[in-house]
C-alpha cells in the first residue's frame, strides 16, 4: 500500500478534523502529542494537507457566472404572487392556505409575467400551444409539472363547495364541457383546484385532485380538436396516464394511481360528462 | 414568434377560499405569533441575498444550469410556503440549504433517476463554456475540475465545509448525516486530491518533500 491512495487510514477522519480545527482542545492536543512521536502519522497529515485547495476562491468565481437577473426576476415573481397580508400568522389553517395559494400563484405569476426562463410551467404551456406537432409532448410536460406537485401542498387547500362549483362551471363554459362538482367527482379522490389556461385559440382546463395513498392526480382537458379517440394508456416516469379525444376535446387523467383503477376513473368521468 | 400571446388564469381556488382555523390549534399569547411573523418577514426580506449561493449549491448538486435554476426556484417556493417554520434570527442560509438539498435528493434527483436520466455525470458538473473558462483564473479552473471529479457525496461535503464555511456539525445537519460521515467524506476527498497533487508534482518531488 502506498501513502497516497483512495483507501482511508483509520486515523484519516480524525486527522482531517485536526487540520480543519474541528477537534476539541483536548483531542487536538492529543493528536499533537501522537504526531510528535509517530512519523507514519506525520506522513498522513502531510498527505491530507496536500489535499487542500483554495476552494473558496475557486468557487467564488462561479458566482460571477450566475444568471443574476433571471434569479432576481424569478424571486420578484414569487414574492409578488404571495400576498404578504395573507402571510400573517392567524393560525395554521391560514398559513397553509396562504402557502397553497403561493404554490398555485407561482404557476400563474410565471406564466403571466414571463419573468424567468423556461420554467416547467412555461414549458408546459408552450408545449400545449404547439401540440399540433406532438400530442405526446404536452402530455409528457403535464406529467413533468405534476411531478412537482406535492401532497403536502394540496392537502392544505381547504374545501369550499360553493367556490369549487362556481369555478368549475365558469371553466366548463369556456371550454364547452359541462364541468361541475358532480361531473368531475371521482370516488376516493378529493378535488383540490381548477385552473384554466388561455393561449390563442386553445384552452386547457387543469383540475387537480388528491388521492390519499398515491398523491396528486390531474385531469386535463384541451380544446385543440382532433379525431375521436378511445382511451389509451401510457406511462410517464412514475405516472400512469389515460388519454382520449372526444367531441373535439383532448382529455388526460394522470397520477400514480394503478392503471386498472385509473381506467375505472376514466370510465366514470366520461359517463358523468356525457350524462 | 411564439403562439403564446396571453396567459390568464380565471380561477384560483385557494386564493379566494375561506381560511379555516383547525379546531385543535390554540394560540397562546402573541409571542409565538410575533416569532412566526418575524420569521416570515425575514425569509421574504433576506431571500434575495441568498439567491446566488443557492444557485451555486444547486449547480454543484445538479451539474446543469437549467436544472440548477429550477432547483433554486423550487427552493424559494418551498421556503415561502414554510416561512412560518423558520425561526427568526437563526441561520437562514443553513435553513435554505437544507430545503434545497432535500428537494434535490428526494424529488428532482429521484425523478431523474426514475426517468432513466441517471445521476449527474461528473464530467459535466460545474462545467463552463470554453470562453468563460478561459476568462477564469487557471488555478481556480483547475480546482473546480478536480472537485467536479470527486464522487457526489465527497463533492458536496467539500463544498459545504471548505467553500461555504459550514462547521462539520452544520454540514451534517444540512446533509442529514452523522458528523463522522462528514469527517470521512472530507478525509476521502483530501486523499484523492492529495493523490492528484502528488501525481502533478511528480514522484521525485513528492519523495523530496517527504524527506524534509
Shortest alpha-carbon distance between residue A49 and chain B (Å) = 7
Shortest alpha-carbon distance between residue B128 and chain A (Å) = 9
Low-confidence ranges of chain B (pLDDT < 50): 1-30, 121-125, 128-131, 203-212
For residue A198, the cross-strand partners are A203
Cell 436544472, located at residue: B67
Question: A199-240: per-residue pLDDT in tens?
Answer: 445 678 889 999 999 999 999 998 877 788 899 998 887 889
The cell numbers describing B82, all together, are 414554510
pLDDT value of position A69: 93
- Is this structure's pTM higher than 0.80? no
pLDDT value of position A7: 58
Low-confidence ranges of chain A (pLDDT < 50): 1-4, 86-133, 199-200
Contact A147 B22 (CB under 8 A): no
pLDDT value of position B127: 53
DSSP letters for chain B? --S-----B---TGGGSPP---TT----TTHHHHHHHHHHHHHHHHGGGGHHHHHHHHHHHH-SHHHHHHHHHHHHHHHHHTGGGSPTTS-HHHHHHHHHHHHIIIIIHHHHHHTT--SPPTTTTT---HHHHHHS-HHHHHHHHHHHTS-HHHHHHHIIIIIS---HHHHHHHHTS-HHHHHHHHHHHHHHHHHHHHHHH-HHHHHHHHH-
pLDDT value of position A84: 54
pLDDT value of position B180: 95
Closest chain B residue by Cα to residue A63: B52
Contact B14 A55 (CB under 8 A): no
A251 phi and psi angles, rounded to 5 deg: -120, 150
Interface pTM, i.e. ipTM? 0.72
pLDDT value of position B35: 55
Amino acid at each position: 500500500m502506498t501513502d497516497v491512495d483512495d483507501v482511508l487510514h483509520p486515523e484519516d477522519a480524525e486527522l482531517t478534523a485536526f487540520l480543519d480545527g474541528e477537534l476539541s482542545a483536548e483531542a487536538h492536543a492529543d493528536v499533537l502529542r501522537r504526531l510528535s512521536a509517530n512519523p507514519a502519522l506525520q506522513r498522513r497529515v502531510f498527505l491530507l494537507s496536500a489535499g487542500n485547495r483554495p476552494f473558496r476562491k475557486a468557487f467564488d468565481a462561479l458566482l460571477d457566472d450566475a444568471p443574476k437577473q433571471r434569479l432576481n426576476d424569478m424571486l420578484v415573481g414569487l414574492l409578488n404572487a404571495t400576498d404578504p397580508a395573507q402571510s400573517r400568522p392567524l393560525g395554521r389553517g391560514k398559513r397553509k392556505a396562504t402557502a397553497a395559494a403561493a404554490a398555485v400563484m407561482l404557476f400563474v405569476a410565471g406564466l403571466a409575467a414571463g419573468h424567468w426562463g423556461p420554467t416547467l410551467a412555461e414549458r408546459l404551456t408552450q408545449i400545449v400551444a404547439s401540440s399540433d406537432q406532438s400530442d405526446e409532448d404536452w402530455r409528457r410536460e403535464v406529467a413533468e409539472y405534476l411531478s412537482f406537485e406535492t401532497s403536502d401542498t394540496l392537502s392544505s387547500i381547504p374545501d369550499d363547495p360553493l367556490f369549487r362549483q362556481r369555478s368549475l362551471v365558469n371553466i366548463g363554459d369556456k371550454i364547452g364541457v359541462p364541468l361541475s362538482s358532480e361531473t368531475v367527482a371521482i370516488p376516493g379522490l378529493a378535488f383540490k383546484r381548477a385552473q384554466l389556461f388561455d393561449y390563442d385559440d386553445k384552452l386547457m382546463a387543469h383540475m387537480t385532485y388528491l388521492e390519499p395513498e398515491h398523491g396528486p392526480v390531474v385531469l386535463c382537458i384541451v380544446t385543440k380538436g382532433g379525431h375521436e379517440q378511445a382511451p389509451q394508456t401510457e406511462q410517464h416516469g412514475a405516472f400512469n396516464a389515460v388519454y382520449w379525444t372526444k367531441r373535439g376535446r383532448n382529455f388526460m387523467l394522470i397520477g400514480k394511481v394503478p392503471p386498472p383503477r385509473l381506467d375505472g376513473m376514466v370510465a366514470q368521468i366520461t359517463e358523468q360528462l356525457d350524462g | 414568434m411564439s403562439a403564446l400571446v396571453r396567459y390568464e388564469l380565471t380561477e384560483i381556488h385557494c386564493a379566494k377560499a375561506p381560511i379555516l382555523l383547525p379546531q385543535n390549534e390554540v394560540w397562546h399569547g402573541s409571542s409565538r405569533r410575533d416569532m412566526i411573523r418575524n420569521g416570515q418577514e425575514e425569509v421574504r426580506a433576506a431571500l434575495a441575498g441568498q439567491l446566488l449561493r443557492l444557485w451555486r449549491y444547486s449547480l454543484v448538486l445538479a451539474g446543469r444550469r437549467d436544472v440548477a435554476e429550477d432547483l433554486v426556484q423550487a427552493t424559494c417556493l418551498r421556503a415561502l410556503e414554510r416561512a412560518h417554520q423558520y425561526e427568526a434570527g437563526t441561520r437562514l442560509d443553513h435553513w435554505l440549504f437544507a430545503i434545497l438539498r432535500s428537494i434535490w435528493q428526494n424529488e428532482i434527483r429521484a425523478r431523474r433517476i426514475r426517468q432513466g436520466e441517471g445521476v449527474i455525470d461528473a464530467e459535466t458538473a460545474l462545467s463552463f463554456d470554453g470562453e468563460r473558462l478561459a476568462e477564469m483564473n487557471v488555478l481556480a479552473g483547475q480546482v473546480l475540475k478536480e472537485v467536479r471529479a470527486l464522487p457526489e457525496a465527497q463533492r458536496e461535503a467539500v463544498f459545504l465545509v471548505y467553500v461555504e464555511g459550514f462547521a462539520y456539525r452544520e454540514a451534517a445537519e444540512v446533509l442529514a448525516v452523522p458528523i463522522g460521515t462528514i469527517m470521512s467524506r472530507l478525509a476521502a476527498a483530501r486523499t484523492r486530491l492529495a493523490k492528484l497533487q502528488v501525481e502533478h508534482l511528480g514522484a521525485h518531488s513528492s519523495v523530496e518533500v517527504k524527506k524534509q
